[in-house]
Amino acid sequence: MPIQIRPIEEADFTQLIALFQEFAIFEKAPELMTNTVDKMKSEKEYIKGFAAINEENTIIGYATCFFAYYTWIGKSLYMDDLYVKPEYRAQGIGTKLINSIIALAKKENCSKVRWQVSEWNTPAIGFYKSLGAQINETERNCDLMF
């Protein structure tokens, strides 16, 4: 089945919200997912990433990202999420999505791509290591919510 990878569009927001909720459940934190389609529409200039589309024109995976500046290395791309629906995993879709993120970072002359992975998510850790990613075991997230 041919899967198309393309930039996220505003018309995708409804399908993406459903996937964001699915991902939050997968990450064992559904209560943290508070985004809405209306919020996405009002903040659409900040939404960057790629959608994986199947033959039925359904989004089956996504990768979101934003540009960041790290004082030690400079302009970078931060991949916020990479998610593929369980029934579509192990088909190379995650690889295509992360390769789209990497290609964007290179095109925009970024110094690196950074992302997080949950310490319990051993399949993802193995996948990222197979790409050559270095996983930092020292730093922890700090969130200040409003």
List, as one string, the DSSP characters of 74-86: EEEEEEEEEEE-G
Of the two residues 127 and 10, the one the predictor is more confident about is: 10
143 within domain boundaries: no
140 within domain boundaries: no
Q: Please state the separation of Cα 80 from the chain's center in Å.
A: 5
Beta bridge partners of 53: 4, 59
Buried/exposed code over 31-52 (b: 16+ C-beta within 10 A; e: otherwise) = eeeeeeeeebeeeeeebbbbbb
Entry pTM: 0.90
Compute the distance between CA of residue 100 and CA of residue 5 in angstroms, rounded to an integer: 8
Number of compact structural domains in the chain: 1
Q: What is the pLDDT of residue 29?
A: 93
Percent of the chain with pLDDT over 70: 95
145 within domain boundaries: no
37 within domain boundaries: yes
CB count within 10 Å of CB 101 equals 21
40 within domain boundaries: yes
Q: What is the pLDDT of residue 46?
A: 96
138 within domain boundaries: no
Model confidence over 27-61: pLDDT tens digits?
999 999 999 999 999 999 999 999 999 999 999 99
36 within domain boundaries: yes
Does residue 135 register a pLDDT over 90? no
Q: For position 86, which CATH number holds?
A: 3.40.630.30
Compute the distance between CA of residue 17 and CA of residue 14 in angstroms, rounded to an integer: 5
Percent of the chain with pLDDT over 90: 76
29 within domain boundaries: yes
Residue range of the domain that includes 82: 4-130
Say if residues 82 and 121 touch (Cβ distance below 8 Å).
Answer: no
Write the CB contacts of 87 (distance below 8 Å, at least 6 apart in sequence). none
